[in-house]
Structure 1
Amino acid sequence: MFDIANTIKELSILALPFLLAITCHEAAHGYVAWLLGDPTAKNAGRLTLNPLRHLDPMGTLALVLTRMIGWAKPVPVNPSYFKNPQRDMMLVSLAGPAANMILAIMFAMILKGIFALDLQNISPNMLRVLEPTALIAKTGVIINLALCFFNLLPLPPLDGSKILAGFLPREAAYKYLSFKYGFVIVILLAVLGLLGKIISPVIFFFYKLLLS
């Protein structure tokens, strides 16, 4: 039976880590592109930590359904501004997953800090604050690791494809990135339950590593 109260509780815990994860992910893409000479994201108002500028309805719905994977509107990037388009596009693509890994480490530090406290001698009022904070931090670690490794999958148009293309000969990279059915494959893997089987072991390996 559908438990609306529990669903609202879960979504309230997911909201902050998810919004922070997708906002920093997309802003990192845009910021690195700007540093490399491309003002497109800046001109579009995407160099911001306002999550409303980055939210994608379908990506948000995916998070609600999966409790782990979601996405934002891609930041516009124009490689023609880059001095070395293939290399610089790889760096821009790497920035998003890197931002998620940094956030995962920060949330892990918060969670480890809470675990280090002597909870037996803490007041009930403080415990009422620490419990949801710990849940949010734990969720933040998992969501950011999930977004990091999901986006590193080498399927166009995910970041991993552009990172891999940076190591390929130019013609091969162009043909590879022209593949139009990458997201169809991602959706198919998700529907078949294979997407979780592919990335979950990596997520939980790094989760244990960060909290060790």
Structure 2
Amino acid sequence: MFFQELSMTYIIYLALSLAIAFSVHEFAHAYSAYRFGDNTAARQGRLTLNPIKHLDPIGTILFFIVGFGWARPVPVNRFNFKNPRLAGIIVSVLGPISNLLLAVLGTILIYLLFYLDLTSDYFYTFSEFLHFFVRINILLFVFNLIPLPPLDGYRIVEDLLPYSVRPTLVKLEPYGSIIFLILIFIDPLYDVTIGVILGDWVPGIESALHQFFIDLFILR
């Protein structure tokens, strides 16, 4: 499991991380859709960074229990876009990209604290939170690119494929959650799919970010 302990400290770290990560992710969808001409999310009050507007109670609670969950999806009407396919891809990909950017920002702050030699207990606690925050956002970045409905990766693939394939995809959409649960709870499948994402990709991206900023802040 991604979270090996749920002490009060980690519960607080997780709650803060999810509030920020989910809110920025969904805002990125809403704002980009608005800029492309679709004000559906704006009319529903989703063009905001207010976590209350974006957090899904069940999806958030599941993150604490099993290590994965979801926010409230931002409604997007692609018929309002001048170029539905291109705009749809950009709107979909900007959600995960926003989480990657948050991870980069968190890593910058970690090494900025180190570079400034800020070593009080408060800064140590903040640095510990930032490490947690970075990993959560990398997890959301990678997780949301999985090409299964209703994740962003599926929407990206949907817009990249020929229109003739879409009727088939629509028929398969109701089974996306079932497929995901199978991948989670059946060990052989988990080991070669979700397990690889959590065990290899997330730590790999995190390590690459740290190495980049170690070179930037320490070796100079």
Instruction: Give the alignment's TM-score, normalised by structure 2.
Output: 0.85
Distance 1:90 1:177, change over 3 A: farther
Deviation at 1:65, TM superposition (A): 1.6
User: Where in structure 2 are the equivalents of 1:160-199 lying within 5 Å?
Assistant: 160-179=153-172, 180-192=174-186, 194=190, 196-199=194-197
Write out per-residue CA displacement over residues 91-111 of structure 1, whole angstroms, 9 at most, x where no aligned residue: 111110010010010011111
Distance in 2 of aligned mates of 1:203 and 1:154: 17
1:155 matched to 2:154? The reply is no
Unaligned runs of 5+ in 1: none
Report the more deviating stretch, 138-147 or 176-185. 176-185
**Relative to 1, partners in 2 of residues 1:40 and 1:191: Cα closer, same or farther, differing over 3 Å?**
same
Count residues with an aligned counterpart.
201
Q: Residue 86 of structure 2 corresponds to which residue in structure 1?
A: 87
Identical positions, percent: 36
The CA RMSD over aligned residues, in Å, is: 1.8
For residues 171 and 151 of structure 2, the distance between their equivalents in structure 1, rounded to whole angstroms, comes to: 12
Does 2:130 correspond to 1:137? yes
Q: Which amino acid aligns with 1:183?
A: S
| 1:64 has 2:58 as partner | no
Q: Is the 8 A contact 1:59 1:71 kept in 2?
A: yes
From the superposition, tell whether residues 70 and 131 of structure 1 become closer, same or farther in structure 2 (CA, over 3 Å): farther
Tell me: CA distance 1:211–1:75, structure 2 relative to 1, closer, same or farther (3 Å): same
Question: For each residue in 1:101-123, what CA deviation from the matched residue of structure 2 results, as whole angstroms up to 9, or x when unmatched?
Answer: 1001001111122333446xx4x
Worse-superposed segment, 55-64 or 101-110? 55-64
Cα 1:102–1:34 change in 2 (3 A) is same
Within the alignment, does 1:48 sit opposite 2:48 as a pair? Answer: yes
CA distance in 1, matches of 2:155, 2:167: 10
**How many angstroms apart in 2 are the aligned matches of 1:207 and 1:110?**
14
Give the whole-Å Cα distance in 2 for the aligned partners of 1:63 and 1:166. 29
Matches of 2:171 and 2:74, distance apart in 1? 18
Deviates more, 1:54-63 or 1:43-52: 54-63
Cα distance in 2, alignment partners of residues 6 and 77 from structure 1: 35
Q: 1:174 to 1:87 in 2, by over 3 A?
A: farther
TM-score w.r.t. length of structure 1: 0.88
**SS at structure 2 position matched to 1:181:** helix
Aligned to 1:36: 36
One-letter identity of the residue aligned with 1:151: N
In 2, Cα distance between equivalents of 1:56 and 1:151: 16
Deviations 1:44-90 (A, max 9, x none): 000101000011112111210234x3310000111111112222211
